[in-house]
Amino acid sequence: MTEQMRLDFFAIQMSILYSECERNMNLTRRMILALPMFATGPLRAQENYPTRPITLVIPSVAGGILDTIGRIVGRSLEPLGQAVVYQNVPGAGSILGTDVVAKAAADGYTLAVVATSHAINPSVYAKMPYDTARDLAPITHTVNLTNLLVVNPAVQANNLQELIALAKRKPGSLTFGSAGIGQSNHLSGEMLRAAAGIDIVHVPYKGSAAAMNDALAGHISMMFVDLLSAMPHVKAGKLRVMAATGFQRSASAPDIPTLHESGLTGFNGNSWLGLVGRAGTPKSVIDKLSATVTHGLRDSAMRQRLLAQGVEPVGGSAEEFANFLEIETKRYAAAVLAAGIKRE
């Protein structure tokens, strides 16, 4: 090979190498320019949320108080501009319905209404399909539900102090019904037993409706039940109210004194509802949901509609609801322990 041929070969190789480098540089440049598009894609999705219907899981049967209140609260999502699809998934103390959200995508399109049982279940069930703290994201505390301690009219007591005095005179003779072992009205009865220092016998049922029927029939002495369910029977003279739960009187029944003010200082047997999503849902989506629902709950028409159902709207940030859940979970864990309930 002559010197000229070697030079020509070298020139060709350099030209090929240069062309390859230029092609790679152009490819890299295009990739770099495209990065903002890929990076802002999820951000745009969050900013435009929601772009399709939102599923709201209600972990109870249709027509129950959880379903009724959950659907009213669900209307506060309507200003987001998308349809709200309600899905009733009852069973296992709301665990089955909540599990739907725990297994859903973390995108804010599958939410659940949770109740007091959400804070109780970790202390009652040894094995759950999800971890309430790890797998679910608190959104907002939606409402508080006032419960009433009611007795059958045959019970010789007109107020809480008379009831306590009767129970102390006749230990073990009075009974209280509940929706089942570990349910919120069972734990309220256990807290009453401990706070008042009385011996009353627990009678568990499969649901509050069955317990209510036996309270009306006089087969049990008393029970804790939500205000909405109790008041028609109270007004008809078929049940007598001893006191309301909560630290303050209910705006729905301001004439009924609380257990707290009637001598059991610090007693709180209120129930509540809240809204949760899948853990890992972008904070911007959680905050948007929280702000939208809170705004809706504080609308005067919405407030009056909820008060008519015996519940009080709350609202607030996701952080506030997370703190509330932590306190409630610890409070009910102590109640379960004191009641001697063994984890299933």
The whole-chain average pLDDT of the chain stands at 88
Write down the pLDDT at residue 1: 46
- Specify which residues 177 forms β-bridges with: 203, 223
Into how many domains does the chain fold? Answer: 2
Pick the range with the lowest mean pLDDT from 2-11, 61-70, 230-239.
2-11
Residue 240 forms part of a structural domain = yes
- DSSP character at residue 121: H
Q: What is the pLDDT of residue 7?
A: 40
Residue type for 112, please?
A
Q: Bigger pLDDT: 43 or 185? A: 185
DSSP label at residue 110:
E
Q: Other CB atoms closer than 10 Å to residue 190's CB: what's the count?
A: 20
Confidence of residue 310 (pLDDT cuts 50, 70, 90): confident
Q: Is residue 14 part of a domain?
A: no
Residues paired with residue 315 on neighbouring β-strands, in sequence order = none
Q: What is the pLDDT of residue 32?
A: 43
Residue of 190, 167, 170 whose CA lies nearest to 178: 190
Find tokens 């020509």 and name the residue. Answer: 8
Neighbours of 274 (CB within 10 A): 25
What the block records as the tokens of 293 is: 């629902």
Residue 65's pLDDT is 83
What is the CATH number for 212? 3.40.190.10
Q: What is the pLDDT of residue 45?
A: 53
Residue 60, phi-psi category: left (phi > 0), alpha (psi -120 to 50), beta (remainder): beta
Quick check: 81 pLDDT over 90?
yes
Per-residue pLDDT at 274: 97
Q: Is residue 109 part of a domain?
A: yes
Global pTM? 0.82
CA distance 66 to 97: 12
Looking at the structure, tell me whether residues 89 and 225 fall in a common domain: no
Domain that residue 111 falls in: 54-144+270-339
- 43 band by pLDDT with thresholds 50, 70 and 90: low
How confident is the model over 42-67, as a mean pLDDT? 84
Q: Phi/psi at 19 (nearest 5 deg)?
A: -65, -40
Q: Taking 50 as the threshold, does the pLDDT of residue 252 lie above it?
A: yes
Mean pLDDT of the 105-113 span: 97
Same domain for 152 and 232: yes
155 with 240, same domain: the answer is: yes
Mean pLDDT, rounded, for 200-210: 93
Same domain, 151 and 131: no
Q: How far apart are CA 72 and CA 59, in angstroms?
A: 15
pLDDT at 64: 83
Q: Are residues 69 and 112 in the same domain?
A: yes
